[in-house]
Every structure is written in structure tokens, then in C-alpha cells.
Amino acid sequence: MFQPAGLVAYWRPVDGVRHGLLPTEPPYPGQERETLCGTTVTVLKPTDLDWLAPTCGPCWDEARRRRDAAEAASEAGAQ
Ligand SMILES: [Zn+2]
């Protein structure tokens, strides 16, 4: 049975860059979270302007890697 690949990251703007946060639980303002690029950030309440921030390159690469791995795993399980 097909399983969707699932969530690989929560994206949140921090210090002018959108980082991918590990998808353990939805982030909330004031929380310290580990990013996909390996740093720890404090989650802020984003404004509309913050969402225009550029995406963190290393986070994006890691999110794509995780998504591809999850898809490969679900395809292997479906056969
Ligand atoms: Zn990052």
C-alpha cells in the first residue's frame, strides 16, 4: 500500500533566512529548534515580510535528500 513520503521539515524564517526545522513537532514562537543545516535557532513569530526571506541552501539540500530517501523507502515498501 502506498505511503506518502510525509513531512520532511517545518520552514521558519529566522534572522532573515528560512531554515528547515526537524519535523518532530510543529514549531511555536520562543522554542529552540534544531535546523536541517545543523544549527539551533529560536523560533520567532513570523511576519508576512519574514516569509519573503531566502531559503537556507544547506537546509533545502538536506530537505530534498530526506524527501528522496523517504520516497525511495516508501516505493521499496510498496513493491
Ligand atoms: Zn538552515
Question: Is 7 among the domain residues?
Answer: yes
53-61: long-range contacts, CB 8 A cutoff, minimum separation 24: 53/13, 53/16, 53/17, 53/18, 54/16, 54/17, 54/18, 55/11, 55/17, 55/18, 56/17, 56/18, 56/19, 56/20, 59/9, 59/18, 59/19, 59/20, 59/35, 60/20
Say which CATH number the domain at 42 has.
2.30.30
Whether pLDDT at 1 is above 70: no
The count of domains in the chain is 1
CA–centroid distance, 45 to ligand 1, in Å, is 17
Q: Is the pTM of this model over 0.85?
A: no
Ligand 1 center from residue 27 Cα (angstroms): 15
Span from the CA of 79 to the centroid of ligand 1 (angstroms): 34
In a domain, 74, yes or no: no
| Mean per-residue pLDDT, 31-42 | 96
- 64 in any annotated domain: no
Determine the structural domain holding residue 17 and report its residue range: 1-55
77 C-alpha to ligand 1 centroid (Å): 30
- The pLDDT value recorded for residue 14 is 92
Q: How far is the CA of 65 from the centre of ligand 1 (A)?
A: 14
